Structure 1
Amino acid sequence: MKNQVTTIYKQAERFAEITKSAIVSGNIVRAKKCLALAERLFATGSYETKNAISNVYVFSVSTFMELRHCNISNLFPQSLKAEYLKQINTSGV
């Protein structure tokens, strides 16, 4: 069972990698499906699931897209976009 993912945070990390590989390969339809699934998990999941989607998935995918100068607002569903904006507007002070 070498590909077994143990925690919800590892699952979110792996899901982010799948989404990013779809973006890199130009498969925007698949990337949008991944983002829509993440949106649904964020909306209906447990507190831990929402936390994993926010802190691992959204952070990972949005950082990746920014580094590659992708337009985030066109891809991210509404709730994930709001979570992304909340992250970038949070001050570390």
Structure 2
Amino acid sequence: MKNQVTTIYKQAERLAEITKTFIISGNIIRAKKCLQIADELLLNGSNETKNAISNVYVFSVSTFMELRHCSISNLFPQNLKLEYNKQINALGV
């Protein structure tokens, strides 16, 4: 029970941390698997799940990748890439 994740937002944050750990360790296959899971949740999840993936997961992972100069376009699946582009355009960057 000590490691129990309680909300969808905390779950999205945890998935982002796992994804970033895989990227750091060079395990790109597992990182891509995490990204694919997030992509499917963004496509098929409830509205709350979609918001969590968009606001927590995409923001966290894309910021991390940009700071480390990783190519987002090579790793992000289609739906996550679209969401990332929406965020970038909304920010006016």
Q: How big is each residue's C-alpha offset from its partner over 1:17-74, in whole Å with a ceiling of 9 and x where there is no partner? A: 0000000000000000000010111110000000000000000000000000000000
Q: Establish whether residue 76 from structure 1 lines up as the match of residue 79 from structure 2.
A: no
Could you tell me how far apart the structure 1 residues matched to 2:34 and 2:9 are? 16
- Tell me the equivalent position of 2:66: 66
Q: How many residues align?
A: 92
Q: How does 1:1-93 map to 2 (within 5 A)?
A: 1-91=1-91
Helix, strand or coil: the match of 2:5? coil
Could you tell me how far apart the structure 2 residues matched to 1:91 and 1:40 are? 25
The residue identity in structure 2 corresponding to 1:67 is L
The residue identity in structure 2 corresponding to 1:40 is E
Could you tell me how far apart the structure 2 residues matched to 1:29 and 1:84 are? 21
Q: Can you give the 5+ residue segments of structure 2 that lack an aligned partner in the other structure?
A: none
Q: Tell me how large the CA RMSD over aligned residues is.
A: 0.9
Could you tell me how far apart the structure 2 residues matched to 1:10 and 1:86 are? 22
Helix, strand or coil: the match of 1:37? helix
The residue identity in structure 2 corresponding to 1:55 is N
Give the fraction of aligned pairs with identical amino acids, expressed as a percent.
79
Give the TM-score, by structure 1 length.
0.96
Give the TM-score, by structure 2 length.
0.96
Q: Can you give the 5+ residue segments of structure 1 that lack an aligned partner in the other structure?
A: none
